[in-house]
Structure 1
Amino acid sequence: MNKNKELVKNTIIIFIGKACTQFITILLLPLYTKYLISSEFGIVDLVITYISLFVPILSLDLEMAAFRFLVDKRKDIEESKRIITTILFTLTVIAIFCTILFIPLSFFLNIKYKYLIYIVIIMSYFSQYFIQVSRGLGKNINYSISCCINGITTVFLNVIFIPVLKMEADGMLLSMIIANIMTISYLFYSLDLKKYISFNAIRLNYLKEILSYSIPLIPNGISWWIVNASDRTIISIMLSVSANGIYAVSNKFSSLFIGVFNVFQLSWAESVSLHVNENDSNRFISNVINIVLKAFTCLGMLLIAVMPIVFRLFIDDKYNAALDNVPILIVAMIFNVAVGLYSAIYIAKKMTKQVMNTSIVSAIVNIIINLLLISYIGLYAASISTLIAYAVMAIYRHFDIKKMIDIHLDRKYMFKSVILMIVIFTLFYQKNVYCTIMMILIALVECLLNFKYILKLVKLK
């Protein structure tokens, strides 16, 4: 199977599972905004945000190492067994140690839902590991099904726990715990992982190379968390928890947008890792990057254009203030698409220190701009700082990657996109029906003119 067919096949398989999760996130928004006031939604969003910080730190990002090292050894069962067992053993030891520390410390922690939060962290920790193992072994169908199981379980339990049992925030956390347990159970049995796990397969000498790969990803993960999540903390402290609830709603639509890309990103990371050292890899990588950037820029324009209509269909009126930040965050995610494309190249070449360095620069930029502006322009400071941070990271990574791979971006298309985006932004903030219609027409024409790039993305050669 050639590289294009392989990329398309994996993307379609992964899309089925990830789409389930992403669209369920949007479908749950009416439920959350109806039954939770903005301060409650803000608290839950903050909790989930901090969970996303602690999971990669506690796991030492070993789940990502599992994926990358298994890609190279997936045809060698004995080597795969050593990698899977060694990393699982290490993760289990860490989990036991953390639990021993947490139990006495919990008596001194005045944090609501602290026990549920800790269990969510541990379940997410192991769930992410098994998910990455399935990808590393090339079992993308199992990966996709596990995502569907997680998503369907989450939505079913949220519907039961929140409106029926009136459990509110604790119901959301409990649904996350059960969904992760279901995911772990499914992957363990469907992948027949018991044949890959043996105490005799533990190789502590493997840990040095594995940790040298994974540890630089920790500050990278923290930096990503700062870019993605420091906004929530700063908003909650300097404005209010209710304001964070408003901002959380703004983020849901940009999260859906980047979630669509993340489906492709998973198969892209695998393809680059498998083929990065081949003779024609430069042409393949450069071509895909151009096609993907054009396709997602068009998609971003269209999403901004229809947002005044879509927002009012899904979101309760008390969250109307969230609409203003959505276009800025969508443009930020277009830059995030570029960041993700370049990130796969670093991962493929096992250059995780460069991933760390570029992420740290972006995180610093995000915090400084946010703190400087939030007292003057409120929630706009968070969205603008996120946009600038991703733009800085994308530009930094582009020129750094060009030292290794000859990537040529279509400058004419980039210039045209900037002009069109300025026009769409101007129309968006006029907030009237005629401007919305004009926006949609402009975005549709642009999508039709560039539909060939979307076709190229899925064309089997």
Structure 2
Amino acid sequence: MNQYKRLLSNTFIFAVGTFSSKILVILMLRFYTGILTQDEMGVADLIVKTTSILYPVVSLSIGQAVIRYGLERRQSKPEVFTIGLLTLLCGFLISLPFHPALSLIHYKTSFGTSGSLLDYQWLIYLYVLTSCTQNVCSQFIRALGFVRLYAVDGIFRTLMTILLNILYLKVFEWNIFGYVFSIICADALSTICLFLIAGLWKYIKPLQINFHLWRGMLAYSLPLVPDAIFVYIVGFFGQTFLASMQSTAVSGIYSVAYRVPTLIALVASIFVDAWQLSMVNDNSRPEQIRFFSNVGNTYSSIVFIIASGGIMCAKLAMMILAVPSYFIGWMFIPLLAVGAGFNCLSSFQKSVYLLEKRTVPSFLSTAFSAVVNILLNVLLIPRYGGMGAATASMVSYIGLFLYRAIDSRRFMPIHWNVRRLGGTVLLLAVQTALMLTEPPLWIVWQLLLFGFVFLLNCKELLLGVKKLLHRA
């Protein structure tokens, strides 16, 4: 199977699994917002986002090394998996004494009360452990080539999360605890199923540890720890600042609005999952550059068409997905949609670093974006609230893409269609401005601008698909 056919096949499989599971989660927003108050939604989402920052620290991002080294034919699969689990276990045990640091994350509610995440320490630690373990196992089955199992597991985990959410929130009325504990239980059940179905216990060989391989995997994964932290800072620190500077109610509205642009990130997650399995090949450098450029330009067309649709449907999305008390959050969506589009492209650029095992430059690029994000959040949130956080997120993602597009050329010069990209970004800027100012006949303007974005990108999209299908 050549690289194009492999990419198409894997993308289709991941699309079925990832899209169906993510859509189910997004459709559950109305259920969540109908049961949880804005303050409860803000605190629950703060716990989830904090855990997302903690688990690369605890696991040392070893899951990324598991799939990168597991894909190499010369590497022993049991050695890779055993090292992944041992690294995770050591990291978790070392992290246990540092739980008082959770008291540093404060929040205040719309009623004037305040608290910290130290109140939820055991819940957070359990969440970290189950998430890390599930991640290592799921990355390893991808390295083994069980892509269908990986896709089905995504659907299974989502369905279990939804069913347990209904049980814990509607029946038991556990609120914040129920929202988080349902994710923990779903991750644990997923891990158990992966062990049973894929027979992962056969790959655990604690008495046959390859310390040379362990050093290599750690050298690859350790720079990804701060890289992952900064990724979450860029994506979610605005919500943390809102919870401390404004209130958990504002933070809750912002977190719900943030879910809509995740449809754009959904395209990225589907594609990147498949892309990771296809980018490691034995092609010559010119062939790799051509492959990356063809796929990258087609991918950018898809991303920006969806981003334009997200801007146009901001109000409709909030009306459908959330109860009326959250509707004001639609104003954040246009800026977040543009930022999500650039985040998708920066994720594609990051694959150059991962292919070349250059994780330090990847970290430096994300650190640059995180610093920009933090500075803008501090400057903008006190004055503009949620709009300030959305602006900070958008600008930092644009900066991240530009940084990587320039820096990664020393490893692999991807040939972007600059004229098309520039024209598309200009149209998205006009579309965002008109959406936020709502001039007369704004709906007509949105439809026209979406049509222009589609027409500008459809030629690139059709050419790219034709190349992929022809070479597949």
Specify the TM-score bucket, using the shorter chain as the normaliser.
over 0.9
Q: Residue 169 of structure 2 is aligned with which of 162, 166, 169?
A: 162
User: Given the superposition, is the C-alpha separation of residues 386 and 296 from structure 1 closer, same or farther in structure 2, using an over 3 Å criterion?
Assistant: same
Corresponding residue for residue 39 of structure 1:
39
Written as runs of structure 1 = structure 2, the 5 A alignment for 1:217-256 is: 217-256=224-263
Conserved 8 A contact 1:89-1:202: no
Query: Partner of 2:185 in structure 1?
Result: 178
Question: Any conservation in 2 of the 1:302–1:440 contact (CA below 8 Å)?
Answer: no
Give the structure 2 partner of residue 393 of structure 1.
400
Aligned to 2:336: 329
- Could you tell me which amino acid in structure 1 is paired with residue 18 of structure 2? K
The alpha-carbon distance between structure 1 residues 110 and 293, as it changes in their structure 2 partners (threshold 3 A), is closer
Q: TM-score, normalised by structure 2?
A: 0.91
Residue in 2 that maps onto 1:289: 296
Describe the superposition over 1:81-111 as per-residue Cα deviations: whole angstroms up to 9, x where unpaired: 1111122223223334445x4799999x973
Task: Quote the residue 1:264 is aligned against.
Answer: 271
Aligned equivalent of 1:146: 153
* Percent of aligned pairs sharing the same letter: 26
2:82/2:209 contact within 8 Å kept:
yes
What is the CA–CA distance in structure 2 between the aligned matches of 1:137 and 1:280, rounded to whole Å? 26
User: Given the alignment of the two structures, is residue 92 of structure 1 paired with residue 101 of structure 2, yes or no?
Assistant: no
- How far, CA to CA, are the matches of 1:454 and 1:330 in structure 2? 20
Alpha carbons of 1:194 and 1:389: their partners in 2 closer, same or farther (altered >3 Å)? Answer: same
Q: Is the 8 A contact 2:257 2:318 kept in 1?
A: no
Q: Which moved more, 1:253-262 or 1:6-15?
A: 253-262
Q: Give the distance between the partners of 2:128 and 2:283, measured in 1 at CA.
A: 34
Q: C-alpha separation between the residues in 2 aligned to 1:48 and 1:106?
A: 13
Residues 158 and 175 of structure 1 are in contact (CA less than 8 Å); yes or no, is this contact kept in structure 2? Answer: yes
TM-aligned CA deviation for residue 365 of structure 1: 0.6
Counterpart-to-counterpart distance in 1, 2:338 and 2:185: 35
Task: Pick from 361, 377, 385 the counterpart of residue 378 of structure 1.
Answer: 385
The aligned amino acid for 1:460 is L
Report if the CA contact (8 A) 1:224-1:363 is conserved.
yes
Aligned to 2:413: 406
Change (3 A) 1:50 1:103: closer
- Tell me the residue number matched to 2:324: 317
Q: Which runs of 5+ in 1 are unaligned?
A: none
Q: Is the Cα–Cα contact under 8 Å of residues 7 and 271 in structure 1 kept in the other structure?
A: yes
Match for 1:164: what amino acid? V
CA contact (8 A) 1:40 1:169 kept: yes
CA displacement 1:429-457 (0-9 Å, x = unmatched): 24478312431343145425643544434
The CA distance in 2 between the partners of 1:164 and 1:14, in whole Å, is: 33
- Specify the alignment match of 1:460 in structure 2: 469
TM-fit CA distance, 1:427: 2.8
Q: Deviations along 1:345-388, whole A, 9 cap, x unmatched?
A: 10011000011110111110111111112222221111111111
One-letter code of the match for 1:51? T
Deviates more, 1:279-288 or 1:200-209: 200-209
Give the Cα separation in 2 of the matches to 1:125 and 1:361.
26
The question of 1:80 aligning with 2:87 is answered no
1:5 and 2:5 correspond: yes
Please tell me the residue identity of whatever aligns with 1:26. I
- Distance between the aligned counterparts of 1:361 and 1:93, measured in 2? 30
- Kept in 1: contact 2:223–2:360 (CA 8 A): yes
What amino acid sits opposite 1:36 in the alignment? Answer: L
Q: How does 1:10-25 map to 2 (within 5 A)?
A: 10-25=10-25
Determine helix, strand or coil for the equivalent of 1:200.
coil
Contact 1:292 1:457 in 2 (8 A): no
- More moved, 258-267 vs 441-450: 441-450
Q: Which residue of 1 aligns with 2:359?
A: 352
What displacement does 1:60 show?
Answer: 0.6
Change (3 A) 1:288 1:104: closer
Amino acid at match of 2:377: N
Task: Give the AA of the match of 2:252.
Answer: G
Partner of 2:49: 49
- Is 2:230–2:367's contact at 8 Å kept on the other side of the alignment? yes
The superposition leaves residues 50-103 of structure 1 with CA deviations (integer Å, 9 ceiling, x where unpaired) of: 000110100011111001001113xx5x7111111122223223334445x479
Query: 2:303–2:341: 8 Å Cα contact kept in structure 1?
Result: yes
- Mean Cα displacement is larger for which, 305-314 or 53-62? 305-314
**Which residue number corresponds to residue 58 of structure 1?**
58
**CA contact 1:300–1:334 (8 Å) conserved in 2:** yes
| 1:341 lines up with 2:348 in the alignment | yes
- Residue 5 of structure 1 aligns to a residue whose secondary structure is helix
The CA distance in 2 between the partners of 1:437 and 1:201, in whole Å, is 66
Cα contact 2:47–2:117 (8 A) shared by 1: no
**Scaled by the length of structure 1, what TM-score is found?**
0.93
- 1:204-215 to 2 correspondence within 5 Å? 204-215=211-222
Partner of 1:67: 67
1:274 alignment partner, SS class: coil
CA distance in 1, matches of 2:295, 2:390: 28
The answer for unaligned runs of 5 or more in structure 2 is 104-115
Secondary structure at the counterpart of residue 72 of structure 1: coil
Question: Which deviates further from its counterpart, 255-264 or 200-209?
Answer: 200-209
Deviations 1:119-161 (A, max 9, x none): 1110001001101111222211111111111100001111121
**2:419 pairs with 1:422:** no
| Aligned-partner residue type, residue 50 of structure 1 | T
> Structure 2 CA distance, aligned partners of 1:296 and 1:156?
31
Equivalent AA in structure 2 for residue 394 of structure 1: F
Q: How many residues align?
A: 457
Letter aligned with residue 154 of structure 2: C
Q: What's the offset of the Cα at 1:276? A: 6.3
Mapped partners of 1:251, 1:103: distance in 2: 28
